[in-house]
């Protein structure tokens, strides 16, 4: 644990003790301890701990010395964990509201019985907070504004929304004359399905103009930090972004560090240490001595094992005996071990896809006609396009009755025969899985289709056993080709239905049903966490855009990103296969 991390925990202990109404002297001892630790040099702190001389430092008594030692050597502190567990989480959460310190929260709790932010909002709305001693109208208004702010800005954002903003900023950053390299880092680069904030890393000769440009973007609501090499902003949309400017020779190390994840970084640093090296955002240098990596690099100490600088992340990984680890895999979930053994998968890429299934037209709830969708697919170079409009039970989505469906099948046959487009169209349906697991069309009708995507759209509140049995029954139907959006989740909006995903995967494998990775940025369903194991056991994936208009085809990028995060290779994804192979599969 770094001294910064230790100091933060000591500070937190002070706050929690105050929240509990503990003796003020004790509270102040922790606050002072935090400041003392912060003021020490990192190496000096290590030395004092090793020599058991912490108590010789002014402001650190026996109890504090013991806790600092425990933190520094084990990375944990039982006392802190117990303390946190002893306080209602709602009270701790209230600390996030600006202007609310432990004293005020304690008063709100004791005098008004307020135990969480929701209760606080209500008390403010009813004017009860203003009436309290030491609060008043002004404070109440400020608290309410803080709560609203937190609701608007405290949330995460869909990967796709963040990616679109990030792409446009990166394009402009790279066009600045001072900028040599610019990349997005953080969870966005790792392809997480939701993103907390954007992190940009820039190599530039002169940081001032870059920070100035960044902090004066037109969509900005607030500049939350501005320094010589760092800027943080909040856009109107609520999305926040950090920008860091570094010298060119540090770029790769900063990019790697701020890409994360934290777990991946911790394992990489340990690996470096085992090789007598220190890795940080500043560089990779021989370990040992009193200086930090930053000081060593600034002092001109050569970076480990290289003439001048690591120009690429591949070179950085190479210095630690690893092949390049794609950002999507950097979650500390075994990627370093796999890289060491040379067993990283060759991850699927967008260009590997030759077409996609599960797309809607104006026949049901889509916004473009069959011809428009096909023309757009042709423009993207797709060999094939799978149409799957809703089935009759999805009335609200204009689901097709048998007659309209069979008319569409004939229309698609005629379109293919006309050779108007180079893209072949497969006829299909997104067929509802009824509440009891039967499909929404009879066998004779389903037999007319190339591809049946079976999905749950109603009776979503069934309990887990019922829902699981229902989906498995649909998988056992020999007409089912693909299982659509397995859990029905809508990211940041709606939990998926309760279903035993493991059992559904087993049944899909046993019945040779393809499982969809729905690429709609709100869905990304089946979730990335299941794919690696399932695909190793033989499950086939189809990355489907679920497009309701031609622009929806672009969502495939979100789907491919999620698939990469699930360790999937080209071979494990069905729609990388050439047209002839897909025709054979469907026949």
The tally of CA atoms less than 13 A away on the side-chain side of residue 24 is 1
Q: Which does 265 bind (CB under 5 to 8 A by kind): Ca ion, ligand DGT, Zn ion, none?
A: ligand DGT
Rank residues 186 and 386 by Cβ distance to Ca ion and give the closer one.
186
Residue written as tokens 């066998």? 443
Rounded CA gap, 434 and 574, in Å?
26
Which CB, 93 or 571, lies closer to ligand DGT?
93
C-alpha triplet 413, 415, 416: angle, nearest 5°: 65
Q: Which residue is nearest to ligand DGT (CB)?
A: 260
Q: Which does 355 bind (CB under 5 to 8 A by kind): Ca ion, Zn ion, ligand DGT, none?
A: none
Q: How far apart are CA 584 and CA 275, in angstroms?
A: 53
Catalog residues that contact Ca ion under the rule CB under 5 A. Answer: 186-187, 196-197, 199, 242
Q: How far is the CB of 520 from Zn ion (least distance, A)?
A: 9
Tokens of 301: 């100490």
- Residue 198 or 543 with smaller CB distance to Ca ion: 198
Cβ proximity of 260 and 190 under 8 Å:
yes
Q: Which is nearer to Ca ion, 186 or 326 (CB)?
A: 186
Rounded to the nearest whole angstrom, what is the least distance from the CB of residue 489 to ligand DGT in the complex? 18
How far apart, in whole angstroms, are the C-alpha atoms of residue 282 and residue 45?
A: 21
Q: Find which of Ca ion, ligand DGT, Zn ion, none residue 455 binds, CB within 5 to 8 Å per kind.
A: Zn ion
Residue closer to ligand DGT (CB basis): 235 or 258: 258
- Structure token pair of residue 173: 């950053």
Give me the least distance between CB of 216 and ligand DGT, in Å please.
22
Nearest-approach distance from CB 233 to Ca ion, in angstroms:
11
| Residue 126 CB, nearest approach to ligand DGT (Å) | 34
Dig out the tokens for 570 from the structure.
């080209």
From the list Zn ion, Ca ion, ligand DGT, none, partner contacted by residue 521 (C-beta under 5 to 8 A by kind): none
Q: Which does 432 bind (CB under 5 to 8 A by kind): Zn ion, Ca ion, ligand DGT, none?
A: none
- Binding segment for Zn ion (CB under 5 A), chosen from 170-178, 197-205, 447-455, 498-506, is 447-455
- Separation in Å, CA 570 to CA 24, 313, 563: 62, 24, 10
**Considering CB distances under 5 to 8 angstroms, the limit depending on partner class, which of Zn ion, ligand DGT, Ca ion, none binds residue 261?**
ligand DGT
Size of site (CB under 5 A) for Zn ion? 1
Please return the burial class of 336, using the count of CB atoms within 10 Å of its CB with bins 0-12, 13-18 and 19+: buried
Q: Give the shortest CB-527-to-Zn ion separation in angstroms.
A: 16
Instruction: Say which entry of Ca ion, Zn ion, ligand DGT, none residue 520 contacts (CB below 5 to 8 A, set by partner kind).
Output: none
> At closest approach, how far in Å is the CB of 278 from Ca ion?
23
Q: In which residue are the tokens 């829902």 written? A: 467
Among ligand DGT, Zn ion, Ca ion, none, residue 254 binds (CB under 5-8 Å by kind): none
Residue 455 engages Zn ion in binding (rule: CB under 5 A): yes
Contacted by 240, from ligand DGT, Ca ion, Zn ion, none: CB < 5 to 8 Å by type: none
Q: 3 vs 157, which CB is nearer to Ca ion?
A: 157
439 binds, among Ca ion, ligand DGT, Zn ion, none (CB under 5 to 8 A by kind): none
Question: What sections of 301-437 are H helices per DSSP?
Answer: 313-319, 335-340, 370-379, 402-418
SS3 track for 244-299: EEECHHHHHHHHHHHHCCHHHHHHHHHHHHHCCEEEECCEEEECCCCCCHHHHHHC
Residue 241 Cβ vs Ca ion, minimum distance, rounded to whole Å: 8
**Cβ distance to Ca ion smaller for residue 202 or 400:** 202
Distances (CA, A) of 564 to 334, 513, 514, 568, 570: 15, 21, 18, 5, 10
Q: Which long-range contacts (CB under 8 A, 24 or more apart) does 455-459 make?
A: 455/430, 455/431, 455/483, 455/484, 455/485, 456/432, 456/484, 456/485, 456/488, 456/497, 457/390, 457/393, 457/394, 457/397, 457/432, 457/488, 458/393, 458/394, 458/432, 459/435
Which residues neighbour 564 within 8 Å (Cβ) at sequence distance 6 or greater?
191, 326, 328, 329, 347, 348
Tokens representing 146? 């803080």
Which one of Ca ion, ligand DGT, Zn ion, none interacts with residue 260, CB within 5 to 8 A by kind? Answer: ligand DGT
The least CB distance from residue 172 to ligand DGT, in Å, is 21
Residue 258 touches which of ligand DGT, Zn ion, Ca ion, none (Cβ within 5-8 Å per kind)? ligand DGT
Q: CA–CA separation, 524 vs 191, rounded Å?
A: 11
Closest to Zn ion by CB, 207 vs 455, is 455
Q: Which CB sits closer to Ca ion, 186 or 191? A: 186
| Nearer of residues 430 and 450 to Zn ion, judged by Cβ | 430
| 316, 297 Cβ separation under 8 angstroms | no
Residue 11 interacts with, from Zn ion, ligand DGT, Ca ion, none (CB under 5-8 Å by kind): none
CA distance 85 to 91: 12
Q: Are 256 and 264 in contact (CB under 8 A)?
A: no
Residues lying near ligand DGT in the complex (CB under 6 A) are found at 186-187, 192, 195-197, 199, 257-258, 260-262, 265
Please report how close the Cβ of residue 456 comes to ligand DGT at its closest, in angstroms: 29
Q: How far is the CB of 7 from ligand DGT (least distance, A)?
A: 13
Choice between 260 and 484, CB closer to Ca ion: 260
Beta strands in 297-363 (DSSP E): 355-359
Q: What is the DSSP letter of 428?
A: E
What is the smallest separation between the CB atom of 163 and ligand DGT, expressed in angstroms? 12
**CB of residue 71 to ligand DGT, shortest distance in Å:** 14
Q: Which positions touch Zn ion (CB under 5 A)?
A: 455
């Amino acid at each position: 644990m770094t001294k910064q991390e230790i100091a933060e925990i000591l500070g937190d202990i002070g706050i929690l003790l105050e929240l509990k109404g503990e003796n003020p002297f004790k509270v102040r001892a922790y606050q002072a301890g935090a400041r003392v630790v912060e003021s020490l040099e990192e190496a000096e702190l290590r030395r004092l701990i090793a020599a058991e001389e912490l108590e010789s430092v002014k402001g650190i008594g026996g109890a504090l010395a013991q806790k600092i030692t425990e933190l520094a050597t084990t990375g944990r502190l039982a006392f802190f964990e117990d303390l946190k567990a002893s306080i209602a989480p709602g009270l701790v959460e209230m600390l996030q509201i600006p202007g609310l310190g432990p004293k005020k929260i304690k008063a709100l709790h004791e005098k008004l019985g307020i135990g969480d932010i929701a209760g606080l909002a209500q008390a403010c709305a009813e004017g009860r907070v203003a009436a309290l001693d030491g609060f008043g109208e002004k404070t109440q208004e400020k608290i309410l504004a803080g709560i609203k702010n937190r609701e608007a800005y405290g949330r995460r954002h869909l990967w796709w929304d963040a990616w679109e903003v990030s792409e446009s900023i990166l394009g402009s950053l790279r066009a600045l004359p001072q900028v040599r390299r610019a990349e997005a880092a953080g969870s966005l680069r790792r392809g997480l399905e939701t993103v907390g904030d954007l992190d940009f890393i820039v190599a530039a000769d002169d940081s001032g103009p870059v920070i100035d440009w960044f902090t004066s973007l037109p969509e900005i609501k607030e500049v939350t930090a501005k320094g010589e090499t760092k800027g943080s902003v909040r856009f109107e949309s609520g999305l926040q972004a950090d920008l860091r400017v570094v010298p060119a020779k540090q770029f790769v190390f900063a990019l790697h560090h701020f890409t994360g994840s934290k777990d991946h970084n911790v394992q990489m640093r340990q690996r470096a240490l085992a090789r007598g090296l220190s890795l940080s955002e500043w560089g990779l240098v021989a370990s040992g001595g009193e200086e930090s990596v930053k000081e060593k690099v600034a002092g001109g100490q050569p970076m480990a094992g290289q003439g001048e600088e690591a120009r690429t992340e591949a070179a950085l990984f190479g210095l630690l005996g690893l092949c390049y680890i794609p950002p999507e895999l950097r979650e500390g979930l075994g990627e370093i071990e796999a890289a060491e053994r040379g067993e990283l998968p060759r991850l699927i890429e967008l260009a590997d896809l030759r077409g996609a299934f599960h797309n809607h037209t104006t026949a049901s709830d889509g916004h473009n006609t069959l011809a428009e969708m096909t023309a757009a697919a042709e423009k993207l170079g797709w060999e094939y396009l799978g149409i799957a409009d809703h089935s009759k039970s999805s009335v609200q989505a204009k689901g097709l009755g048998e007659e309209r469906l069979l008319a569409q099948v004939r229309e698609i046959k005629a379109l293919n025969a006309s050779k108007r487009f180079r893209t072949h169209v497969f006829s299909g349906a997104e067929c509802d899985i009824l509440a009891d697991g039967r499909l929404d069309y009879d066998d004779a009708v389903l037999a007319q289709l190339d591809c049946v995507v079976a999905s749950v759209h109603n009776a979503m509140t069934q309990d887990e056993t019922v829902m699981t049995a229902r989906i498995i029954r649909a998988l056992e139907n020999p007409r089912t080709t693909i299982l659509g959006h397995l859990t029905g989740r809508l990211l940041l909006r709606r939990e998926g239905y309760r279903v035993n995903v493991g059992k559904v995967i087993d049944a899909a494998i046993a019945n040779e049903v393809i499982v969809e990775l729905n690429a709609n940025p709100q869905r990304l369903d089946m979730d990335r966490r299941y794919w690696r194991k399932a695909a190793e056991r033989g499950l086939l994936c189809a990355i489907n855009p679920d497009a309701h208009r031609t622009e929806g085809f672009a969502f495939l990028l979100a789907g491919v990103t999620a698939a990469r995060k699930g360790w999937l290779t080209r071979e494990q994804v069905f729609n990388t296969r050439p047209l002839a192979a897909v025709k054979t599969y469907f026949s």
